[in-house]
Homo-oligomer: A and B are copies of this chain.
Amino acid sequence: MIVERGRYGPFFSYTNKEYDTSGISTVHPKQFRMSAFEITYLLTLSDGEDIDQKVKSICLEQSVELPGALLDSHIEEEVVGDPVSIEKVKEDQFEVVISWPIANLGGEITQFINVLYGNISLKPGIRVTSADWTELSDLFAGPAVGLKEVRNRHQVLDRPLSATALKPVGSTPSELANYCFQFACGGIDIIKDDHGLANQSAAPFGARLKACVSAISKAEEQTGNRASYYPNITASPEEAIERYQMAARRGADGVLLCPHISGLPTMHKLAQMDIDLPIIAHPAFSGQLVMHETNGFTPDFLYGQLWRAFGADFIIYPNKGGRFSFTTEQCKAINGAARTPDSDFKKSFPMPGGGMEIDDLDRWVADYGKDTVFLIGGSLYEHPEGIIKGAQELQDKLTRE
């Protein structure tokens, strides 16, 4: 069942647990709305739930938070969410599109998060699968650098990139710089900090940054090939901004950020700053948003669509078959959302990782395509012939493709 925009209704069923929507007229389209954006949801009904009621409850919950009967007609016309279509996908499951007034956002990305999934994060059976970003492109700017410019900077236009992580926490700057040097000599394209390297006394941010940038230069002198170094700037918003500036001043090539720890608005802020270091987004603390089939966000919505809108140049996600548990289809969907040309934003570079092995790389390259950065950490450290050899093997596979 596809329903014409603004003409879905009426809503009648009423339970104590939901808003009384009986006062809401939905016969007439909301013709006074100047500008709106659409969100697509997968809704799953629990025992006794009615789809019309569930949809309308979301329309109220995420806007006015009042029963429909209490609303003035101008509020109902101009503020309440508007069901665009309700399509049954299987028993008790529906794909639903709701249109929201842009004016509800007041020009703020934080209020977008609230309308998107504020109160309904506490309700079962609601999963966001997609957003139409066209009307939101004034609010979001997407990646500041993006896939194409990253390729230009690396002068690597036609193969997948490699990435690895400096670890473990507890190492000194010179130990980390030594790993960095070896990875760079082995030809790894992007060398990032482990996301657990913050500002611990074993390797404070500034000392680590200096040592690793210097290691990159030293490797370049020896090999003629320049790797990139991305320090982790995850911290409180103020501190993350300071570290971003320091990373730029001291010659880093980009930065790593956990947006769900510093806060999504902080990633957006960094991407808007007058510093052109690309941002690798790491999924730490985000997992519960994507791990539950009928709730939260699809992985491709969160990591592909939302992170891209919020300015992630690279998108780390847990690859199928590693220590985490996404399916190949979910991984491909993330790649697709990150890279689709059908967007107002620059492309993000997908960066699958988390327990990936060099031996499996051919398969992943075939599956994910060349516009992918393969993040391989542990198995390079484990290589029987050492890090440089492991890195060379990885790089050989990628350049041979």
Contact at A168–B67, with CB atoms within 8 Å?
no
Q: Any chain B CB within 8 A of the CB of A268? A: yes
What does the 1/0 interface line of A251-294 toward B look like (CB < 8 Å)?
A: 00000001001111110110000000000000111111111100
| A239 partner residues in chain B, CB cutoff 8 A | 108
- Surface stretch bound by B, among A98-106, A183-191, A215-223: A98-106
Q: How far is the CA of A115 from the CA of B194 in the complex (A)?
A: 13
Which one of A103, A117, A169 has the highest number of Cβ atoms from chain B below 10 Å of its Cβ? A169
Q: Is the CB of B70 within 8 A of A381?
A: yes
User: What is the size, in residues, of chain A's interface with B at 8 Å between Cβ atoms?
Assistant: 90
Q: In the bound complex, what is the Cα–Cα distance between A283 and B122 (angstroms)?
A: 8
Residues on B with C-beta less than 8 A from A67 are 378, 382
Within 8 A of B (CB), among A17-61: 17-19, 57, 61
Pick 15 A–B contacts, CB within 8 A, sort by A: A66-B168, A103-B201, A104-B170, A104-B196, A106-B199, A106-B200, A110-B198, A110-B258, A114-B284, A117-B285, A121-B291, A122-B325, A237-B263, A263-B265, A291-B295
Among all A-B residue pairs, the 9 with the closest Cβ atoms: A263-B263, A121-B287, A64-B168, A118-B284, A122-B287, A106-B200, A79-B170, A237-B237, A236-B265
Spell out A's residues near B (CB within 8 Å): 17-19, 57, 61-67, 69-71, 74-75, 78-79, 103-111, 113-115, 117-124, 165, 167-171, 194-196, 198-202, 204, 234-239, 258, 261-266, 268-269, 283-292, 295-296, 318, 322-325, 355, 377-378, 381-382
